[in-house]
Chain A
Amino acid sequence: MTTPADATETAAGVRAGSLSAGAAVERALVLARGRGVELNCFSELLEEPARAGAAAVDAAIAAGRDPGPLAGVPFAAKDLFDVRGVVTRSGSRIDLDRPAAVRDAAAVERLRAAGAALVGTTVMDEYAYGFTSENTHYGPVRNPHDPERVAGGSSGGSAAAVAAGIVPLALGSDTNGSVRVPAALCGVLGLKPTYGLLSRRGMRLFSASLDHVGLFARSVRDLALVLDLLRGDRGAGAAAAAQAPGGEPIRVGVAGGHFRHGAQPEVLERVDALAARLGATGEIELPGATEARAAAMVITAAEGAQLHLDDLRTRSGEFDPMTRDRFLAGALVPASAYLSAQRFRRWFRAEAARAFEQVDVLLAPSTPFPAPRMGQREAQVDGQTVRTQPYLGVFTQPLSFIGLPVLSIPAGLVDGLPVGVQLVARPSAEHTLLELGALIEAGGHTAVAGQAR
């Protein structure tokens, strides 16, 4: 089976006239109606708008106009990004009662302006509160590598759609790991840029002080191109770094302490293999990482509950049982606990800054184990029983807690299933992550999982 084209290759074909945008989008729609339905990737397919977007690109090319750097590239967006004319559900039943969006979210708007065609919105955990995309209202997203296993969450539909080769690009959001966890479990690339780098306009929030826009792709060059587009750089910074790796040496270390315990041994072996390949200098401690994860849990619950307080008061029975109890518990957290958690962020951020005086990039597992089975509530790790769903974020939460940029890259298979490694950099150093990611990709150490069946 051939590897599906990435966005860069598709756009190049469309721009050169060897492929029509209409054909590229039609292919994605056919896959979305077939494989996408099997995997339950999509909340809503947007066939006519996608075809109209493709037709506009083909018309621009016929008229000799620039169709944009993502000409004819099909993409998907998590169902918490506003799409003009579509009701943003955020994985809920409650939000079906809200009016359709009157304007695209900033991220959707920019990708469409670059010539990309949105083929659908994707299934997620309700209000992004989860790591498995087991949505009671709309059904679970199935992992393309094993349909009896979860795709990860909360951006599971987006990750699965990219992993299955339906689209080469998808938008997600990451509050505690909701891009990096499903990227790892589905075997694709997931980028969570620095907190605040990308506009959240038109993105429904979950926990405002932690929410990030994130991206899924099958190649580093695609991530770099899209990051630049979303920032408004049009192919400047990140893409240049990804296209010309090998400049200044990048100092790499392995995140120690918290990040070396509580994972399946084979997952840590994948981190070590990559570290050896990159000549990592050794383990660098991030003191307080366990407390950082704890603080992130408290902040998430309190902010999420506050956001939905009106509905929790009047419509609690309409929430997904998978999220309802946690939102309700979040509404009962004492204010002192929330404020202590926020204060701790400042301390932990300073500790991370010290770590990045020694290295440019830290390596850490993306998840503690490969994709759990659907409905699996507990797992055994290091002789301990852990709650599967929240524990999937054990290595992602401390990093998003202080807004660091992180790239999750596929790191091979464990028990026949994909796992990922997080590349972590200091704030605003996405270019370093993408440069290193491109080097890893070029070296063939790790490969994006093929068109998983």
Chain B
Amino acid sequence: MSEPPSAELIDAHARAAARLAGLTIDDAWWPGVVGHLTILLDQARLVERHPGAGEPSPAPSFRP
């Protein structure tokens, strides 16, 4: 995620991810959904660029 993904790439990801998740997204909602996803991916890039996101232990841990 070093470079911002293009709008086309986000759209392609969203369509594939929605299909895999079993989600049917109405065409009328599509711009809103992709708009929110774009914001989330921007936020995710902001976090992933920060050294603190490289901490080795993920918070969701499993203890048998």
List the A residue with the shortest CB-CB distance to B38: A329
Q: Among A33-41, A140-148, A180-188, A331-339, which stretch is in contact with chain B?
A: A331-339
Q: Which of B17-64 contact A (CB under 8 A)?
A: 17-18, 21-26, 29, 32-37, 39-41, 43-44, 46-48, 50-60
Decide yes or no: A340 and B48 within 8 Å by CB, A309-B21, A328-B23, A328-B29 being known contacts: yes
Determine if A316 is an interface residue (Cβ-Cβ < 8 Å).
yes
Determine if A288 is an interface residue (Cβ-Cβ < 8 Å).
yes
1/0 per position for A29-66, CB-CB distance to B under 8 A? Answer: 00000000000000000000000000000000000000
Determine if A297 is an interface residue (Cβ-Cβ < 8 Å).
yes
Contact B23 A331 (CB under 8 A): yes
Please classify the interface of chain A as helix (H, G, I), strand (E, B), loop, or mixed, using the class held by over half of its residues: helix
| Residues of A contacting B25 in the complex (Cβ-Cβ under 8 angstroms) | 316, 328
Contact A297 B43 (CB under 8 A): yes
Contact A342 B58 (CB under 8 A): yes
Q: How far is the CA of A446 from the CA of B29 in the complex (A)?
A: 45
User: Closest approach, in angstroms, between the C-beta of A112 and any C-beta of chain B?
Assistant: 35
| Residues of B contacting A331 in the complex (Cβ-Cβ under 8 angstroms) | 17-18, 21, 23
Determine if A325 is an interface residue (Cβ-Cβ < 8 Å).
yes
Interface size on B, residues (CB 8 A): 37
Q: How far is the CA of A330 from the CA of B21 in the complex (A)?
A: 11
Q: How far is the CA of A222 from the CA of B50 in the complex (A)?
A: 41
Decide yes or no: A294 and B37 within 8 Å by CB, A328-B23, A340-B53, A343-B58 being known contacts: no
List the B residue with the shortest CB-CB distance to A333: B40
Determine if A326 is an interface residue (Cβ-Cβ < 8 Å).
yes
Contact B23 A312 (CB under 8 A): yes
Contact A317 B26 (CB under 8 A): yes
User: Closest approach, in angstroms, between the C-beta of A314 and any C-beta of chain B?
Assistant: 9
Q: How far is the CA of A314 from the CA of B33 in the complex (A)?
A: 17
| Residues of B contacting A301 in the complex (Cβ-Cβ under 8 angstroms) | 36, 40
Determine if A138 is an interface residue (Cβ-Cβ < 8 Å).
no
| Residues of A contacting B34 in the complex (Cβ-Cβ under 8 angstroms) | 329
Q: How far is the CA of A310 from the CA of B28 in the complex (A)?
A: 21
Determine if A348 is an interface residue (Cβ-Cβ < 8 Å).
yes
List the B residue with the shortest CB-CB distance to A343: B55
Determine if A290 is an interface residue (Cβ-Cβ < 8 Å).
yes
Specify which of B22, B40, B43, B56 lies most central, judged by the most chain A CB atoms within 10 Å of its CB.
B40
| Residues of B contacting A252 in the complex (Cβ-Cβ under 8 angstroms) | none
Q: How far is the CA of A241 from the CA of B51 in the complex (A)?
A: 39
Q: How far is the CA of A294 from the CA of B47 in the complex (A)?
A: 7
Contact B35 A325 (CB under 8 A): yes
Interface residue from A209, A288, A298, A339 paired with B43 (Cβ < 8 Å): A298
Contact B24 A298 (CB under 8 A): no
Contact A298 B40 (CB under 8 A): yes
| Residues of A contacting B18 in the complex (Cβ-Cβ under 8 angstroms) | 328, 331-332
Determine if A295 is an interface residue (Cβ-Cβ < 8 Å).
yes
Determine if A346 is an interface residue (Cβ-Cβ < 8 Å).
yes
Contact B37 A333 (CB under 8 A): yes
1/0 per position for A296-336, CB-CB distance to B under 8 A? Answer: 01100100000001001100110001001110111111101
| Residues of B contacting A344 in the complex (Cβ-Cβ under 8 angstroms) | 47, 50, 52-53, 55
User: Closest approach, in angstroms, between the C-beta of A384 and any C-beta of chain B?
Assistant: 15
Q: How far is the CA of A417 from the CA of B45 in the complex (A)?
A: 36
Contact B23 A288 (CB under 8 A): no
Interface residue from A294, A313, A330, A347 paired with B22 (Cβ < 8 Å): A313
| Residues of A contacting B52 in the complex (Cβ-Cβ under 8 angstroms) | 288, 291, 343-344, 346-348, 351
List the A residue with the shortest CB-CB distance to B57: A346
Task: Identify 4 new A-B residue pairs, CB closer than 8 A, beyond the known A316-B23, A332-B37, A343-B58.
Answer: A288-B50, A331-B23, A333-B41, A343-B56
The 10 closest A-B pairs by CB, nearest first: A347-B52, A337-B44, A329-B36, A325-B32, A294-B43, A342-B59, A329-B37, A332-B17, A340-B53, A294-B46
Please give the residue numbers on chain A whose beta carbons come within 8 Å of chain B beta carbons, in ascending order: 209, 288, 290-291, 294-295, 297-298, 301, 309, 312-313, 316-317, 321, 324-326, 328-334, 336-337, 339-348, 351
Write 27 A-B pairs (CB below 8 A) sorted by A numbering: A291-B47, A294-B46, A297-B39, A309-B21, A313-B22, A321-B29, A325-B29, A325-B32, A325-B33, A325-B35, A329-B40, A332-B17, A332-B21, A332-B37, A333-B41, A337-B1, A337-B48, A339-B60, A340-B53, A343-B52, A343-B57, A344-B47, A344-B50, A344-B53, A345-B59, A346-B55, A347-B55
